[in-house]
Structure 1
């Protein structure tokens, strides 16, 4: 049974932030959570605002909790806003269904965790998450 290692999480963080720098994005924060939604690793770049870690965590926590990328959750929330508002309340504010987080899976499809980013647009945040996961040899979902 595979688990997400600290080494993989750190590789993912470094690659995601490198992708953000290469693309010229604003300062970012990236958070990696394990399959139970617990913090594995996090970094906030110099100049990133104080809320970035919290936002990245909320995106990743929602993704791992619901088993879907935050993009998918944002789309679902449009059609059922009351349910998603209730989810956010139930999760004591930890749930943020906004684009910018993806699931992390191993080669057999087993859920290992999620990575979320904050600092750019949702599309930019998601793209650096995907780049980070790819650098680990794992699968973004």
Structure 2
């Protein structure tokens, strides 16, 4: 199982189209494979300087911790010292805000998408729209 460039481009183009339909702020979107290597990236005109870095940190954090960043953010509320230590241990390569979503194929993690630019809820919604368009089922097998 692997994440193709075509699938990554579908995720990005759909996420950005969904963002425009919501009148979201300009976004940066990155798609990483399971090893954390970039497959595709886009930054909308007007997206601020650090948006790429934040989007990548969301995707890397999801991959590294094995869960979407919405879940990680909730966990961090209950154990802030541990998650601060994680952030230090990984050189800040993690972000605790919704918008980092794992990509699964047949229940196996094959990558992650990270989006930054609007609220975490909006970023995550755009990521999920992109994943659906690319045919990825986000249900976690029991």
1:55 to 2:54 alignment: yes
TM-score normalised by structure 2 residue count: 0.95
Equivalent runs, 1:35-74 vs 2, <5 Å: 35-74=34-73
* Counterpart in the other structure of 2:102: 103
Q: 2:115 aligns with which of 114, 117, 122?
A: 117
Q: Does the alignment pair 1:8 with 2:40?
A: no
Q: CA RMSD in A?
A: 0.9
CA distance in 2, matches of 1:90, 1:97: 15
* Offset, 1:140: 3.1
Q: Which runs of 5+ in 1 are unaligned?
A: none
Name the residue aligned to 1:32.
31
Q: Which residue of 2 aligns with 1:137?
A: 135
Equivalent-residue separation in structure 1 for 2:120 and 2:4 (angstroms): 26
Deviation at 1:98, TM superposition (A): 1.3
Comparing 91-100 and 47-56, the one that deviates more = 91-100
Rounded to whole Å, the distance in 1 between the matches of 2:49 and 2:67 is 26
- Structure 2 residue runs of 5 or longer lacking an equivalent are none
Q: What SS class does the counterpart of residue 131 from structure 2 fall into? A: helix
Q: How does 1:61-100 map to 2 (within 5 A)?
A: 61-100=60-99
* Distance (whole Å) between structure 2 residues aligned to residue 125 and residue 104 of structure 1: 15
TM-score (norm 1): 0.95
